[in-house]
Amino acid sequence: MPAAAEAVHGLSATFLSDKPRFHEKAAEFLEFIGDSMLVAHNAGFDFGFVNMELEKCGLDPLGRERMIDTVALARVRHPGAKNSLDALCTRYGIDRSHRTLHGALLDAELLAQVYVELTGGRQIGLHLAVDNAEADLAEPVARIKRDRPLRAARPHAASEEELAAHAQFLDTLKEPLWRT
């Protein structure tokens, strides 16, 4: 193991000496991923290595159509910004304080959180507006809204029975703030 590589991931030749090699686990790996899409940061780089190893085993390479590249997504969403995994974790407030080395499992866990943010999943800031990176989605959404007839708001006032039940509940409270 080259010292420079060990400094990045912390895996020594001694540690790796009793671990299985790729060809011993390739079939198990392919069974595990099935026909799923695969999310990776700088996916072309990772697919290149995986496909080289699969071909060495006499197996078909993974098709690029299965690749979801978070670097490519980040470049569209944040053009001109730094889009390393660390930078994206910082941008999205994802805790990476426990990351001291480049480890596959920890990086995959961080990337899963980054992917959710890149695809607009968490919405912690209630940013419901469409930003420039999603402009290609804005026109279809606007067209759907224009094509629908305006519908009046439904009444949502409490019934007399609900108001009485609420008043009865309030009577059970000791000195509520809103009654002073």
* CA proximity to 103, closest of 17, 4, 9, 16: 9
Q: How many domains does the chain have?
A: 1
Task: Look up 102 and say whether it is catalytic.
Answer: yes
Tokens representing 22 are: 């790729």
Q: Is 63 contained in some domain?
A: yes
| pLDDT value for 150 | 59
Rounded CA-CA distance 177/180 in Å is 6
Q: Is 80 contained in some domain?
A: yes
Rounded CA-CA distance 76/118 in Å is 10
Q: Is 70 contained in some domain?
A: yes
Rounded CA-CA distance 63/54 in Å is 12
> Which of the residues 102, 127, 156, 166 is marked catalytic?
102
Backbone angles phi, psi at 44, to 5 degrees: -55, -40
CATH of the domain at 17: 3.30.420.10
pLDDT in tens, the chain (180 residues): 888 888 888 888 999 899 999 999 999 999 999 999 999 999 999 999 999 999 999 999 999 999 999 999 999 999 999 999 999 999 999 988 887 777 788 889 999 999 999 988 665 555 555 454 444 444 434 444 445 555 666 667 888 998 999 889 888 888 877 766
Q: Is 95 contained in some domain?
A: yes
Structural domain boundaries, residue 44: 3-125
With tokens 């426990």, the residue in question is 98
Q: Is 151 contained in some domain?
A: no
Q: Is 54 contained in some domain?
A: yes
Q: Is 20 contained in some domain?
A: yes
The torsion angle over the Cα atoms of residues 93, 94, 98 and 102, rounded to 10 degrees, is -120
Q: Is 148 contained in some domain?
A: no
